[in-house]
Every structure is written in C-alpha cells, then in structure tokens.
Structure 1
Amino acid sequence: MTAPLLSIRDLRVDFSAATGAFRAVDGLSLDIPAGRTVALVGESGSGKSVTAQAILGILPKAARIGGGHIRYNDPRGAAGGVDIAALKPDSERMRKLRGGRIAMIFQEPMTSLSPLHTIGDQVTEALLLHADVTAAQARERAVEVFERVGFPDPRRALSTYPFELSGGLRQRAMIAMALITRPDLLIADEPTTALDVTTQAQILELMRELQAETGMAMLLITHDLGVVANMADEVVVMYRGRVMEAGSREDIFRRPGHPYLKALMRAVPRFHMAEGERLTPIREVRSAVLARKAGEPHRPDPAGPLLAVRDITKSFTLRSGWFKGQVRTINAVNGVSLTLRPGRTLGLVGESGCGKTTLSKIIMRALRPDAGSVCFDDGAGQGPRDVFALKDRELKDFRRAVQFVFQDPFSSLNPRMTVYELLTEPLRIHGVGTSDERYVRAKELLDMVGLDARALGRYPHAFSGGQRQRLGIARALALKPRVLLCDEPVSALDVSVQAQVLNLLRDLQASLGVAYLFVSHNLAVVDYIADTIAVMCRGYIVEEAPKAALFRNPAHPYTRALLAAVPEPDLDHPLDLKLLMSDRFSNPAQWPEPFRLTNGEAGAMQEIEPGHHVRVSSPLLRRAA
C-alpha cells in the first residue's frame, strides 16, 4: 500500500498567553494521499490554520508543537520521509520543503503580498530560492504561470503592483506564487472567502485543473461546505482543535453522523428555504429582547418610499502611462434607480467592481453623483427631500437617520477606543443625552446584539470576527436610524457566525422597524435576508424583483450565472465550473438578445410580470425570453 504524501498523527499545538496556556490543536490525525484533495472544515478558532502553520513550520512565537508527528513522504526523495514536527523551523531542510515541496495560498492576498514589490518580483523570488535558474529564466517561467492562472496580460503582470489588481487577480497571483515551484502539496487556507461567487467558481476550477495537470495533493482549509462539496475527496471536520468526524465526501454529506457536523449544515443559507424558516447557528445569539421590551415609540412612516434613488450616474477618470497622459473613463454607476420602503430589505447583488459600494456611498452622500437624485423621506411631514440639497441641521438629521455597517469590522473600529467609547461616540457627536443616559444606551445596544455589558471596557482586538461585526451593528444603531446600509456584512464570516449575524439583523428589523439596503455578492445570503432583490452588473441594474419571483423565474443571463455560481452543500447540485470560467456573463456586449448592450447603450427596464423588471436592449420588446 502506497504511503500518503503527508501523514499527521496525534498532533498537539500549545499556545502560551497572558491568561494561561491553551491547546489549539489536540490530537489531530489525518492523511493526505498524493494527487487527492482533503478538506479541513470547521468554524473560526477550530485549529485549521494552526494546523497549516505547523505543517509549514511557521507557527507564531507563542505557539509550539507539544507532541505528535507530521511525516512528509517525499515522492522524489529517500524512502521513510521526514518528520516535519521534529525539524527546526529555520533549518536548511525545512526551508527547502517550505515553498518548494509544500506551498501555501493564504486567506487574504492583500496582506500576504508586499505592497512595495511588483507581482513579478514576488512570484519569481520563490523560484529563485528553490530552483537553480537565472533571473531571466525565472521571469519567463513566471509569465507561463501567469498565463496559466488566467492573467489577461501575463507579461504586464511582471511589473504590476498588488494594489493595481482586483481581489480575484490578487488571489491568482498568490496561486501563481505557490505553483511556480511545482509543489507536491498545496495548502489552500480559505482561498476564496472574500471573493464574489463567480470569481470564486473560477478560482476553484483553476485549482482543480492545475491539480489534474501537476498531480499535486491539496489540503483545502475552509468553513464553506458548498466549496467542500465541489472540491474535496476526503473531509475532516474540526471543533476546538479536535476531529469530530472524518470520511469520504460521499459519507460526510449523505450520512453525517456527528451533531456538530449536522449543526454546521443547518447554519448554511440555502435556496428555497420555507417561509419564516430561520438559520440554526451552533450558538444562538439571544438578541433584541430588550428592544422588544423597551419598544421604540412608533415613528410615522412616509406615504411613499423611505429612500428613492433616481437615474444615478457616476464615472471616474483614471490617468495612466509614464506621464499620466493616458486618460480612461470608467462608468461605475449607469442610470440606477431603486426604492426602499420602511421596515423592508432591498438586496443589492453583483460581483466585485459592479458599482454596489459606489452606489452605497452616493446614498450616504459620501460621493456626489454626476447626474440623478437621492430623495429621503423620514415621515415627519416634510415629504421627500433631495439628499444633496440638505444643509446644516437637516443634513445632520439625515446623517443620524442613515447609518452604515462595514464589510470589515476590525478596520472600521478604532483599536484605541473601548467598546463604551465606540458606542457612545455617535451620541456625543450629535449631542444626544447626558453621560448617564449614554451609558444606559450603550448597555442597551450590547443587549440588542447579544453581547454582555462587561464588554464595555474591552477593546476591539479582544473580540472574535462575529462579535466585532455585532459591535459594528450596535454602533450603527446607536442613533436609532431609519435605514442601515449593510455592505457585505457577512462575507468574511464562517457559516455559523454568519447565521448568527443574519438572524440578528432579522430580529432587529422586526423589533425596531429599521430598513436595510443589503449589499452582497451571495444570492443565497440575500435570499434569506431580503424582500426585494436588485441585480447589478457593470453599473447597471439588470434585474429587479421580489425574491420569490427572482428565484422562480430568473430572466437575465447574468442573474442566472450568479445563481449557478453559488456552491451548495449538496452533492446532487454540483457547480458547473467550466461554464463559469468565461467572463461573458458579466460582459454586456456578449449577452444574448434581447439583453445585449453595445456601444454604451443603456437599454431599458421592462416589466415581465408584476413587480419583476429586467433590462433589455430595446424598449419595444414587450417580454424577456
């Protein structure tokens, strides 16, 4: 019987901290056969990434391997292999393994790539360290790898910096860096977590093709069971450093045995959930209880929409070239119109770069549009008012009424401020309440989002990702707004924490009557939270409908592509990854008739059933096919 490429037995990793020692990995055993994909699944904090760091010998200073073996059986080396756990991290043998025979794709490419060096320099550095090649040969090999991983201009990528690339291309650069040495084992740590669903599908298909070509093994670390169902051969489920269940993909999905695995599956948003059905997080957050008890006094609702966006257009001018003489105009938002009603949720869906965040900033009055209007009606009897005409007190009232929940809570929370200071800062700025009243309000806000009042004296770094996102929501609610603009609020959270935050948002809406503009790239998430869904592509709204109508009868080819790109944790509904490798679904000039838009043509929204509108190229067409 052939020995596995990597065999881990009874691995234990211990951390020492100010509060005492704790064990992050406790008796982990798994095998990774050559040419196969093993998925390591679990929530944040389960020990997945620590396992990868132990394999590569890059554990943080506070950590040490407390026992066990990590045996690497080099298919090109001597029989018997080597125990990585016994090697010194800075030894010559470990350096040859790390990046050469065993490579890794990290979760966040922007923080893993040096902003001071070109992509070409960073990718060729790995080859120069591990192979006997000249700089010129390394650059040629890099061009070949860039072409293979799907860079539109592989040679130009050599002189490109990370900040010039989209999220998908940065992830492709990380894959190129890992693959240029032709490793035997690729460790992919959450390689698609923050990517939109079509880019994620393209990256997954790319990894699968490269694995078939090179014969490398893969350790796929993820919390996304939909990705696991489409990529893995074997699955290992971890919880708090221990293996809860392990087996083939078929066994794990068709015959799950452990209650923890079953709970993970129930926490995933799914299409066609029953009306009123809730996600079931592993740890339910008891939220909004105080909100229901305190019962905000009913505020009058406007007769019409709370927010009305009409024909918004926004373009950006970019200069490039040696002397910035080349001018290029990007139309980020093209004639977008939307309405948001009190107490309702409008989901805005699309890929990265489609204009979702730009539109959110315009609604917040953080950006001024080139044309169009944003009208807000708070129900106070003054009727709809143009947001960009507001001044002084009226503008300050608007700022209170419309608040923002950011994608990355850690970067949006000041690390030098305590939770109490973060929650009461909006109240101080707007002159709301006395010091004692602000303290009471801060405790109420923590109760609304399911956090203990003892958290008031702590700093953001002391919280998990899901807890930080709940703090971001609490801060946004401090001024009792009418509207929350939620920009990808759950895209980087694991499935159980994501379920907690989504349930929390639904509870808060039911008790406070707040309206949401929910921006996301994941249609399954939007299906769970939204009442109406607008699909955005290249600055256009291409389809808008109540969610039941949209999922029952998606009319636009781009909407269909987004639906097809959502990985479901179901072996009977695999992704058609090859279909999604092309970008023709997001190119208006390649859409089929009657949807094709060419030469700057805007088309027109047509109603194909009550409340269901789709963009077509000619207003004469009465019904979309």
Structure 2
Amino acid sequence: MTAPLLSIRDLKVDFTTDSGSFRAVDGLSLDVPAGRTVALVGESGSGKSVTAQAILQILPKVARITGGAIRLADPSGPPGGTDIAGLKADSSRMQSLRGGRIAMIFQEPMTSLSPLHTVGDQVTEALRLHADVSADRARARAIEVFERVGFPDPKRALVTYPFELSGGLRQRAMIAMALITRPALLIADEPTTALDVTTQAQILELMRELQAETGMAMLLITHDLGVVANMADDVVVMYRGRVMEAGSRDDIFRRPGHPYLKALMRAVPRFHMEAGERLTPIREVKSAVLARKAGEPHRPDPAGPLLAIEGVRKSFTLRSGWFKGKTRTINAVNGVSLELHPGRTLGLVGESGCGKTTLSKVVMRALRPDAGTVTFDDGSGRGPRDVFALKDRELKDFRRAVQFVFQDPFSSLNPRMTVYELLTEPLRIHGVGTSDERYERAKELLDMVGLDQTSLRRYPHAFSGGQRQRLGIARALALKPRVLLCDEPVSALDVSVQAQVLNLLKDLQASLGVSYLFVSHNLAVVDYIADTIAVMCRGYIVEEAPKEALFRNPAHPYTRALLAAVPEPDLDHPLDLKLLMSDRFSDPASWPEPYRLTGGAAGTMTEIEPGHFVRVSGPMLRQAA
C-alpha cells in the first residue's frame, strides 16, 4: 500500500488564554493520500481550521502543538517524511514547505489578499519566493494560471487590485496564488462558504479539474455536506477536536454510524421536505415566545399587501477609466414589481450582483429609485402610502414597522456596546417606554431568540456567530415591526446554526405575525422558509411562483440553473458541474427563446399557471415542462 502524502497521528493543539487552557485538537489522526480529496467536516469550533493552521505552522500565538506528529512525504526530506510538528514556524525548512509543497486557500479572500498590491504582484510573489525565476517568467506563468482558473482577461488581472474583483474572481485569485507553485497538497478552508451557489459550483469544478491535471492531494475543510458529497473521496467528521467518524464517501453518506454525523445530516435544508417538516439542529433554540401575549392587542392586517413594489428601477453610474473620465451605467434593478402580504415570507433569490440587496435598500428608503413606487399599508385604515412621500411622524412610524437583519451580524453590532445597550438603543431613539420598561423589553427579546438573560451585560465579541445573528434578530424585533428584511441572514453560518436560525425565524413569524422579505442565493434555504419565491437575474424578476409550483415546474432557464447549482448531501443527486462552468445561463442574451432578452428589451411577465409567472420576450409556445 502506498504511503500517504500527509499522515497526522495523535495531534494535540492547546490554547492558553487569560481564562485558562483548553484543547482545540485532541488526538486527531488522519491520512491524505496523493491525488485524493479528504474532507474534514464539522461545526464551527470543532477544530477543523486549527488543524489546517497546525499543518502550515501558522497557529496564533496563544496556541501550540503539544503532541503528535504531522508527517509530509517530501522528496528532499528524510526517508520517513518530514515531521512538520517538530519544525519551528519560522525555520527555513518550514518556509520552503509553506506555500511551496503545501498551499492553502483561505475562507475569506478579501482579508487574505493585500489591498495595497495588485493581484499580479501577489501571485508572482508566491512563485518567486519558492522558485528561482525571473520577473518576466513569473508574470508569464501568472498569466497562464489566471487563464486556467477562469479570469476573463488574464493580462489585465496582473494590474488589478482585489477590491476591483467580484467575490468569485477574488477566490479564483487565491486559487491562482496557491497553485502557481504546483503544490503536492492543497488545503482548502471553506473555499466557497461566502459565494453564491452558481459561483460555488464553478469553483468546485475548477478545483476538481486542476486536481486531475496536477495530481495534487486536497484537504477540504467544510461544514457543507452537499459540497462533501460532490467533492470528497474520504471523509473525517470532527467534533470538539476529536474524530467522531471516518471512512469513504460512500460509507459516510450511505451508512452513517455516529449520532453526531446523523444529526449534521438532519440539519441540512433539502428539497422536497415533507409539509410541516422541520430541520433538526444539533442544539435546538427554544424561543420563550410561542404565542401572542393574552393582553397584547392584535394589530389589524391590511386588506391588500403590506408592501407593494411597483416598477422599481435603480441604476448606478461608474467610472471606467481613472484618467479619461469614461463612465458606464449599471442597471441594478430593472422594473421590479413584487408584493409582500401579512404573516407571509417572500423569498428573493439570485446570484451576487443581481440586485437583491439594492432592492432591499430601496424598500428601506436607504436608496431612492430612479422610477417606480414602494407603498406600505400598516392596516390602520389609511390605505397604502408611498414610502418616499412619508415625512415626520409617518416616516418615523415606517422606520419602526420595517426593520433589517444583516448578513454579517458582527459588523452590524457596535463592539463597544453591551447587549443591553444594543437592544434598547432603538427604543431610546423612538422614545419608547421608561428605563424599567426598556429593561424588561430587553429581557423579553433575549427570551424570544433563545438567549440567556445573563447575556445583557456582555459584548458582541463574547458570542458565537449564530448567537450574534440571534442578537441581530432580537434588535430588529425591539420595536415590534410588521416586516423584517432579511439579507442573507444564514449564508455565513454552519449547517446546524443555520437550522437554529431558520427554525427561530419560522417560530417568531407564527407567534408574532411578522412578514419577511428573505434575500438569499440558496434555493434550498428559501424553499424551507418562504411561501412565495421570486428569482432575480441582472436586475429583472425572471420567475415568481408559490414555492411548490416553482420547484415542481421551474420554467425559466436561469431558475433551472440555480436549482442545478445547489449541492445536495445525496450521492444519488450529484451536481452537473460541467453545465455550470459557463456563466451563459446568467446572460439574458444567451437564454433560449422565448426567454431571450436582447437590445435592452425587458420582456413581460406571463402567467403559465395560477400564480406562476415567468419573464418572456415573445409568446409562450407551450407551458414549460
């Protein structure tokens, strides 16, 4: 049997903090054979990323390897392989291995790429550090790699800065930097977590193709079992620093043995769930608010929609040249019309850059549209009112009635304010209640989102990602709103915490009657929480339907591509990654008739069955199958 490229035996990593020591990795053993992909799976905090940091000797200062061995097969090293655990982090030997024989793709490329240097400089630097090549040869090699990883203009990439790139292209730049040295082992730490599903599928296929070409081994760190089912040869499941289960992909998915692995699988949103079926998070969040208070008056519902968006358009003018003053216009939202009804959830899905967040900002009055109207009806009998015509008291009432839940709770919560201050700030701004009443409301809000009341004196940094998202939801509920605009509220969370937050949102809607405009790029998540789904592409709504109709009979080619791009944790439904490598499915001019949009034509929304609308440019010759 061939010796593995990487062999970890009984690895232990300890952290020493002001509050004491704890073991983040406790006796981990695994092998990564040459040319194969091993997936390291588990929730946030299970020790996956710490393991990767130990392999590269880039642990934080408070951490150290206290036991075990990390052996890497190395032609220039000793016969039994190089024991990385025995090398100093700043030794010349470790520096030659790090980035040379072992490379890594980090989770968030924007924080891993220098904003002060061009992408070309950063990628060529990686090569020149590990190979004796000239600057011209390094640039030529960088252009080859940029072309291989799918940059539309490889030569221009040399002089492009990271902030000028989309999320998908920044991740491709990270892959180019990792692969330019032709490493034997690639460590990919959550390489697609923050990407939309179509970009994720393209990155996964790219990694698989590059692995087939170069023969490199891959250690894939992820919490997404759908990605694992499509990429891994072998799987190692971690929990609190220990291996719970390990085996081939077939064994893990077809014959899971450990209760923790089974629990992870039950927490993943899936298509075709039974009516009323709930996700099962590993740790359920118990909201203390399961029904309206007996003494709290029921707010009247309007006869029509709470929110009505009619023909909204929004464009942005961008400078395309630094010195020549050239500009170009981006149509972010193109004539969007939607309705949100009381106690219901409207899911808005599409790729990054399709206009979802811009539309949400228009609804919140954070952006003024170029054309169209947004009306709000609170059921008070005054009827629908134009949101952009509201002033003074009416505007303040609207601000209370429509609240926002952000994608990244950490950046939206003031790190200098305690939880009590964060939750009561909206009440103070709007002059709601006395000091004692605000204190009671803060405790009630924590009960709503399943957090202990002792959290009131703590700061945001003391909470996990899922807990911070629950704090963001609690803050949004402080003023008893009618509508929550949820912008990718679970996209950065691992599957179990995601299940907690989705179940919590459903429970709060059932108990409080709040309505959600739920923005996401993941159709499986939207399928679980939404009643009606609108699919958005290049600023257009291309399809809208009740979720049952949309998943039973997706008509538009873009909707079908989004559905095909969601990785399911099911070996019998693999992704068609080849289909998704091209971005033609998001180009309106490349859609087949009657869906093709060319020459600025907007097409029309046509009803193909009751409540199911699809955008077409000409007559529908037949109902989409």
Once residues 98 and 572 of structure 1 are traced to their aligned partners in structure 2, the CA distance between those partners, rounded to angstroms, is: 38
C-alpha displacement at 1:69, in angstroms? Answer: 0.3
Distance 1:304 1:587, change over 3 A: same
Q: Tell me the SS of whatever aligns to 1:493.
A: coil
Once residues 521 and 580 of structure 1 are traced to their aligned partners in structure 2, the CA distance between those partners, rounded to angstroms, is: 15
Contiguous gaps of at least 5 residues in structure 2: none
Contiguous gaps of at least 5 residues in structure 1: none
8 Å CA contact 1:470–1:501 kept in 2: the answer is yes
C-alpha displacement at 1:77, in angstroms? Answer: 4.8
| TM-score normalized with structure 2 length | 0.99
Partner of residue 221, structure 2: 221
Once residues 173 and 260 of structure 2 are traced to their aligned partners in structure 1, the CA distance between those partners, rounded to angstroms, is: 35
Q: Which amino acid aligns with 2:125?
A: E
Once residues 17 and 291 of structure 2 are traced to their aligned partners in structure 1, the CA distance between those partners, rounded to angstroms, is: 37
Once residues 122 and 459 of structure 1 are traced to their aligned partners in structure 2, the CA distance between those partners, rounded to angstroms, is: 36
Partner of residue 388, structure 1: 388
Partner of residue 308, structure 1: 308
Deviations 1:378-406 (A, max 9, x none): 00110000000001111111000000000
Partner of residue 268, structure 1: 268
C-alpha displacement at 1:618, in angstroms? Answer: 2.0
Q: Which amino acid aligns with 1:29?
A: S
Partner of residue 232, structure 1: 232
Q: Which amino acid aligns with 1:177?
A: M
Q: Tell me the SS of whatever aligns to 2:403.
A: strand
Partner of residue 72, structure 2: 72
Matches within 5 A, 1:172-321: 172-289=172-289, 292-293=292-293, 296-321=296-321
Partner of residue 5, structure 2: 5
Matches within 5 A, 1:99-498: 99-289=99-289, 292-293=292-293, 296-498=296-498
Q: Tell me the SS of whatever aligns to 1:289.
A: coil
C-alpha displacement at 1:454, in angstroms? Answer: 0.4
C-alpha displacement at 1:297, in angstroms? Answer: 2.4
Once residues 284 and 622 of structure 1 are traced to their aligned partners in structure 2, the CA distance between those partners, rounded to angstroms, is: 46
Once residues 175 and 347 of structure 1 are traced to their aligned partners in structure 2, the CA distance between those partners, rounded to angstroms, is: 32
Distance 1:214 1:294, change over 3 A: farther
Deviations 1:270-311 (A, max 9, x none): 000000000000000001436545674210000000000000
8 Å CA contact 1:604–1:619 kept in 2: the answer is no
Q: Tell me the SS of whatever aligns to 2:467.
A: helix
Q: Tell me the SS of whatever aligns to 1:382.
A: coil
Once residues 293 and 132 of structure 1 are traced to their aligned partners in structure 2, the CA distance between those partners, rounded to angstroms, is: 73
C-alpha displacement at 1:76, in angstroms? Answer: 5.8
Q: Which amino acid aligns with 1:446?
A: L
C-alpha displacement at 1:620, in angstroms? Answer: 7.1
C-alpha displacement at 1:137, in angstroms? Answer: 1.1
C-alpha displacement at 1:504, in angstroms? Answer: 0.2
C-alpha displacement at 1:173, in angstroms? Answer: 0.5
Once residues 47 and 108 of structure 1 are traced to their aligned partners in structure 2, the CA distance between those partners, rounded to angstroms, is: 18
Q: Tell me the SS of whatever aligns to 2:298.
A: coil
C-alpha displacement at 1:120, in angstroms? Answer: 0.6
Once residues 214 and 286 of structure 2 are traced to their aligned partners in structure 1, the CA distance between those partners, rounded to angstroms, is: 49
C-alpha displacement at 1:326, in angstroms? Answer: 1.3
Q: CA-atom RMSD, angstroms? A: 1.1
C-alpha displacement at 1:353, in angstroms? Answer: 0.3
Once residues 288 and 329 of structure 1 are traced to their aligned partners in structure 2, the CA distance between those partners, rounded to angstroms, is: 49
Q: Tell me the SS of whatever aligns to 2:208.
A: helix
Q: Does 1:530 align with 2:530?
A: yes
8 Å CA contact 1:295–1:511 kept in 2: the answer is no
C-alpha displacement at 1:321, in angstroms? Answer: 1.4
| TM-score normalized with structure 1 length | 0.99
Partner of residue 92, structure 1: 92
8 Å CA contact 2:312–2:372 kept in 1: the answer is yes
Q: Which amino acid aligns with 2:38?
A: V
Once residues 25 and 125 of structure 1 are traced to their aligned partners in structure 2, the CA distance between those partners, rounded to angstroms, is: 32
Partner of residue 592, structure 2: 592
C-alpha displacement at 1:322, in angstroms? Answer: 3.3
8 Å CA contact 1:443–1:453 kept in 2: the answer is yes
Once residues 288 and 517 of structure 2 are traced to their aligned partners in structure 1, the CA distance between those partners, rounded to angstroms, is: 20
Distance 1:567 1:622, change over 3 A: closer
Distance 1:470 1:324, change over 3 A: farther
Q: Does 1:18 align with 2:18?
A: yes
C-alpha displacement at 1:325, in angstroms? Answer: 1.6
8 Å CA contact 1:535–1:543 kept in 2: the answer is yes
Partner of residue 53, structure 1: 53
Distance 1:291 1:452, change over 3 A: farther
Count of residues in Structure 1 that have an aligned counterpart in Structure 2 = 625
Once residues 294 and 113 of structure 1 are traced to their aligned partners in structure 2, the CA distance between those partners, rounded to angstroms, is: 55
Deviations 1:383-435 (A, max 9, x none): 00000000111111100000000000000001111000000000000000011
Once residues 535 and 433 of structure 2 are traced to their aligned partners in structure 1, the CA distance between those partners, rounded to angstroms, is: 41
C-alpha displacement at 1:466, in angstroms? Answer: 0.3
Once residues 623 and 201 of structure 1 are traced to their aligned partners in structure 2, the CA distance between those partners, rounded to angstroms, is: 29
8 Å CA contact 2:290–2:508 kept in 1: the answer is no
Deviations 1:326-371 (A, max 9, x none): 1111100000000000000000000000000000000000000000
C-alpha displacement at 1:559, in angstroms? Answer: 0.3
Deviations 1:242-277 (A, max 9, x none): 000000000000000000000000000000000000
Once residues 154 and 5 of structure 1 are traced to their aligned partners in structure 2, the CA distance between those partners, rounded to angstroms, is: 32
8 Å CA contact 1:14–1:21 kept in 2: the answer is yes
Distance 1:317 1:497, change over 3 A: same
8 Å CA contact 1:14–1:23 kept in 2: the answer is yes
Once residues 28 and 262 of structure 1 are traced to their aligned partners in structure 2, the CA distance between those partners, rounded to angstroms, is: 21
Once residues 410 and 291 of structure 2 are traced to their aligned partners in structure 1, the CA distance between those partners, rounded to angstroms, is: 25
C-alpha displacement at 1:624, in angstroms? Answer: 4.7
Once residues 404 and 295 of structure 2 are traced to their aligned partners in structure 1, the CA distance between those partners, rounded to angstroms, is: 23
8 Å CA contact 1:105–1:188 kept in 2: the answer is yes
C-alpha displacement at 1:479, in angstroms? Answer: 0.3
Q: Tell me the SS of whatever aligns to 1:574.
A: coil
Q: Tell me the SS of whatever aligns to 2:400.
A: helix
Q: Tell me the SS of whatever aligns to 1:12.
A: strand
Once residues 252 and 80 of structure 2 are traced to their aligned partners in structure 1, the CA distance between those partners, rounded to angstroms, is: 31
